[in-house]
Amino acid sequence: MQIEVGPVSRASAVAWIAYASDTLTELRERPDIDVIAGALDAFAALLDEWRPIAERAELFRWVGDAPPERVQYLLNALYWTGTIVQREAPAGHVHLRPPETDEFHLVLVQAAMTALERESEADAHFVEELRGVWPIARLD
């Protein structure tokens, strides 16, 4: 399936990529925090792909292909990683996402969710369930 992220402002993309990179480092330094297996490496690979696009483009645009199962895995991992960050941030173990990253985060999540829900009834059900528990994933 194809996922199209963007257009989104360069500033928000650069800020989100920097924040996500820092968060990956913080989470890797905490072996006591359980993150979905392979998620940090999968996120790092995407960040490596997105970084040069964000640095050179006025507006960030990315098109990628992935099997629906991979997109489900990454969305689920992003959701759970976000809950871990929210849980750990008050103790100073990680930092919350800064406001300047919100535009990119919203566009990214919505692009992946929209592409996935068009794939099949089962994928649409997964998206519906995730939207029920993840505020950023909701359309309202």
Query: pLDDT below 70 — which residues of the chain?
Result: none
Task: Give me the residue spans of the domains in the chain.
Answer: 2-137
pLDDT of residue 97: 96
pLDDT of residue 117: 96
pLDDT of residue 30: 86
pLDDT of residue 2: 97
pLDDT of residue 35: 84
pLDDT of residue 80: 94
Q: Which residues on adjacent β-strands are paired with residue 4?
A: 63
pLDDT of residue 36: 82
pLDDT of residue 33: 85
| pTM for the model | 0.94
- The 10s digit of each residue's pLDDT in 56-92 is 979 999 999 999 999 999 999 999 999 999 999 999 9
pLDDT of residue 66: 97
φ, ψ at 109 (rounded to 5°)? -65, -45
